[in-house]
Amino acid sequence: MQDSFNEILKLLLPEVIINYFELTFYKKENEALHLYLKEINSLPKEYRQNKLSSKGFFDEITVQDFPIRGYKVYLHITRR
């Protein structure tokens, strides 16, 4: 079921969001759809030989995206 949901998300969200973030939660309220995204912990190829450590996450930001079928869409993004 989760795989089919991810396939639908690929049609709705920009490719950069799909490639670098995972959907952790979603909720539908009245006329709004809220999607909660967390950045995936992956290193770019050019930094893989370096010893790096994550310092946690920045505060969540909310971005209003284009409406989907009459619902306002809000992306709640947490990034490293």
Distance, in Å, from the CA atom of 79 to the CA atom of 56, rounded to the nearest integer, reads: 9
**Global pTM value:** 0.78
Residue-by-residue pLDDT tens, the chain, 80 positions: 566 777 888 888 888 888 889 889 999 999 999 999 999 887 777 777 777 677 778 899 999 999 988 999 999 999 88
CB 72 within 8 A of CB 32: yes
Distance, in Å, from the CA atom of 32 to the CA atom of 71, rounded to the nearest integer, reads: 5
What Å distances lie between residue 71 and 27, 56, 62, 66, 80, CA to CA? Answer: 12, 32, 16, 9, 28
